[in-house]
Structure formats: structure tokens, C-alpha cells
Structure 1
């Protein structure tokens, strides 16, 4: 993991200037420079999973680079990709890589090029729950898939009880919550169900919720709020939202020697083993949702920043490259790691920075 000291940014006095972030909580020092370049404003949208990360990055970047602003709106991965392919925003955030049809559509706005995926935010999806008296819930792929498809409807169902011997599971109806918006988080969850559900999940993995039953809410913030308010409920959100809302997260029985907790360290173990799926300047990754490795949490995600490899708007290109170079830096990754995200392996961020340098 690319871990460095805490971020400290001083304001840039003018365009084409560098600001340095340095410090060291463990006694060592690390330095990462932000090249502010030309002052400019970027508009972006998409994944709500990375909203907290964007809040950190855009604040730090604006403070460092006088006259530059980053406006990031959530709305979900699907909405972000749609706006990007309509030419309304400079980049989109998506918790799943572009599909072939989306790449084809991007060629209309990326003159002479196409949309590409740059992995930027590592995270995990917590199965968050609100059940009185149950503090250490364990679930597995088949059981969680059946819960979210209304095949298992009571908390004291034998399948849940078998995974939680000794737990005082209530004889209560399970209230599930899923995303109402098209979400990459939903796609990653359903990919996990497809890979590790033992056939219990019969729907295609995708951004739109397809299963039976349950109630919906908009965005990660929306489903988090519902679980916090509604007893005997369960949903899925990124670790940052689970932590912010003080929600309990289930451990996952993957088939390893013991259930795996929803921690950044355990997610990092899985992300570090991701395989390349993209070609050329597209850096999409393939995750192993069915991992049984010790200490590897299977419900992980990568949020990509989607940009044009060629055909970016000339007036914002310099700011775009400067901002993304910062977010992929050791300092940028460390800053969001302190907010519940998973810093990407340096082998990944080095490739990302290599591609950013070539954007045109």
C-alpha cells in the first residue's frame, strides 16, 4: 500500500506553480508535489461511493491551487457516465468499468479518442445491519444473496443461525434496503452474489436493482440513513458510510479458516491481487469476488475516474491532469485512506499517473 505522511498544503500564489505537501506522523518524512498548472474549474459527477474522497481531494486541491475549483456531484455511477457521454462534465466517477456500448458512445465527445477507466478509489462494501442484541453478525454469499432476494425473510432463519451459533437472533422480519439509482455499488454487490452465491442469485449483475422485495433509497447516504433508523434492517454501503453513521458491518464467511471482517486492511489484500482487464490506456481491473484467501474481504470495489484519452476540452485539460495526478499521488491516497477508503497499491497508481501524463 502506498502510505505516506499526513497532507499539509499551502496555497499556490499563481498559475504554473508547485505546492508541496509534506510531514510525517511516524517520524519519517515524505513529500508529494502538486503541480497546479493553469487555474481552472472542473465539473464532474457520478459515484456516491467516492463522494467523501472527492470532498477531501477537491478541498485540498482548491486550497493549494489559487483560482481552481472542483465541482463534484453524486447521483450514481450510471448518471455520471450518462452525463460524461453527453459532454456535460469533464470526468465521471463510476464503481464499475465502462461497458463496450458506453465506450462507443464516448467517442462522440472524445474527439479522436474514447473514454477510459482510471482506477482511483479503493473501497469495500459493508453489509450494514441494525438488529438489537446482535453485534457480530456473520453472513456468507448464498445466505446474503437469499436475504436480498427475499428468499430468507426472518432474522432467526436456520441459515443465518447456522452461521451465528449462540447469537440471539430475533424472530423478526428482515427489512432490506437497496439503491434506487443506478449504482456501481449495486453492480459490485451483485457480482459478488453471482460469484459467491452458490447459484442463489439468478439475476444478471448490474447497476440497476433487479431482485424481489425490499425498499429503495437514493445514494449511499440514503440507504445508510434508512438502516440507522429502521430496526431489523440490512443494506450495503461503502465502509466510509458505515463508519460515518456508526453502523455495524457483518463479517463474511468466505470459506477461509475464519470469517473475514469488513476492514480496509482486509479489503486491501483483495484489491492488491486484482488482475488487469483493460487494454492500452484503459486500466480497468478484474476483482476476485469469490476469494477464499485468508484475511481477504471479498466485497470490494474500485471507483474509476472516466476521462477521454484524447479529445478532452483544451481549456480544462491542464487542470484535469493536475487534479488527477494529485488524487493518484501517495499524499492523495493517504488522505482518503484516513476517511475509510483503501489506498491503491503503488503499482496501480504508478500506471495511472503514466496514463494521466498522456491525456490530450
Structure 2
């Protein structure tokens, strides 16, 4: 178990608050063009000017954290390998912890002020290269609100404690408890859920599977009636939040499974979900949400910035039972999953 885990939790939540406040302040005083300027291409993703703001605050605070814990920090933007050791003189193999963080998950939506983004952090005991998502024992995610939004939610969990949450009012400075409650609905009917298809390339195939999944699950639609809804939140932390708050009943991000289709067409590989995007899934599982990979097993990807991940989230056991078998059948039928 993580030494002094509750103390570490408090410190990480303070770091999240500092990142959130600096990013919001910068959004208030900067133009869209300045925030959306591309400054680098690293670890398979694009780094925008707004990302650099969070990285500066992150490094400053994590340097201070190293006076109490030794750790390997894993984050997009920390050089080509996405790794940095604290304190810098220590052998990475002897570091106590691995801390993986996404300083801004949902950069694109935030910099255009379309949707809130999230700061994501997961902490695991250091087991070297074998350390993976299933080892995470502390997770925190904090909302970076839009400029016009005065409330900011945060949720956290420790491996041996229930998940908790807080809603912060950035106008008054007050905070109140936030009680997350995933949907208890026994069906996807009249609820939100979807297969993620954010970018051009294989949206048609993924949409076909999504449509067929709903048809096989709920039957043919009646004239003038809608069976279910979807909401494409381009942010994995945001998708987990929507499940945790009961807004969505299921979500599947299967982009890596569609990569062979792009390759066969001679198209460049697309942008996929990475371990830092899902480093807070412990919180969701603590709330009773079922989070799996494409084969139905618990996520266990290495803590790096490059591994592509497929994942599926179900709000409860009933939704899992309704969706999972049909989804697996369709993925096999459409050759995205081997039989």
C-alpha cells in the first residue's frame, strides 16, 4: 500500500486546484488563437499552447512533492518518453511510486470553450516496467471549468476507501460534498450511451456497429420515437464522469480495434486513448461502474504515454448484461475482434 496515502491525496488535490486555477485564469485573458497554437508533436499526440500552462504548474508542484516521496512521473509532454524522476538523482527502479497524470484531458474542447476538461492523476506503488493501471491505489480527477462556468467538480478514491467527491464554487471559494451516483436503470432505453467516434477515418463503421447494437438490444424503432441518445464527449475523464454521475449508462471507446481498417486503406494511424486518459478509472469502479477492456477483463495497460487502449464502461450489472454479449458478437462479426 502507498505510504501516507491520505496525506498524498491531500497534496495531489492541492496540485490539481493550482493547475485548474491557472488554466482557467489563462483562458480568461487569452485568445482562442493563442490557446490553440500547436507547439509540439509528442508521444503520438499534439501539444497545444494551453497544455504548456498546466505542465509548468505541474512540474513546480511535483518538484516540491519529491521532498516527501520519491516517484517516477509519467505525463505527456515530458520529453519523448514521457518520464521524469523525482528527485532527479534517484535510480528510477528505487523510486517509491509511479505517478501518471494528464494535466488537461479534453484540451480540444477546453481551448475552444466548448466543454470542461479534466486533470487526471493515478498513483501506484513502483513495480518497474510491470506497473500498470490495475496497480493504481490512489486516483483523483478535477474539472477545469469553462470561463462561463462557476462550479468545478472533483472526485477521488483510495484502494481501501470509498470514492468521494466535492463541488467547488470558484466565485465564492466554497465547497460542498459531491455524491456521485451511477445510473441504476436496468436498460439503455431512453438513456445516453455510445461508441466513441471522435475523428474522421472509421466513423461510419463504428456508427454502424452502434446502430446495430441498439437495434438488437431494443428492437426496431417505432415511427416518431427515439430509443436512446448519445453524447460524444471528447475526453476520457469526462466520459468516466458522465458514467459516475448517472448521466450516461454505457460508453465504449474502441478506436484501437479499428486501426487495421485505417492501415488497410493506407491511412495514417488515428489518435487513441492512452493509459493517462484512464488513470482514474479506480474511482468509477469504486462507485460500482464496470470498466473493462474489449475482452471483458479489467484494464491492465502499462503506465506509459504511448500504449493504445480500448475500454468499455457500464453503469451497472444490468446494463453490462444487456450490452456486453451483443457488443462482443458485433465486434467479432465486423472483424474488429478476433473470434
Same fold (TM over 0.5): no
Which structure is higher in helix share? Answer: 2
Q: Report the TM-score when normalising by structure 2.
A: 0.30
**Bigger RCO (CA 8 Å, 6+ sep):** 1
Q: Report the TM-score when normalising by structure 1.
A: 0.28
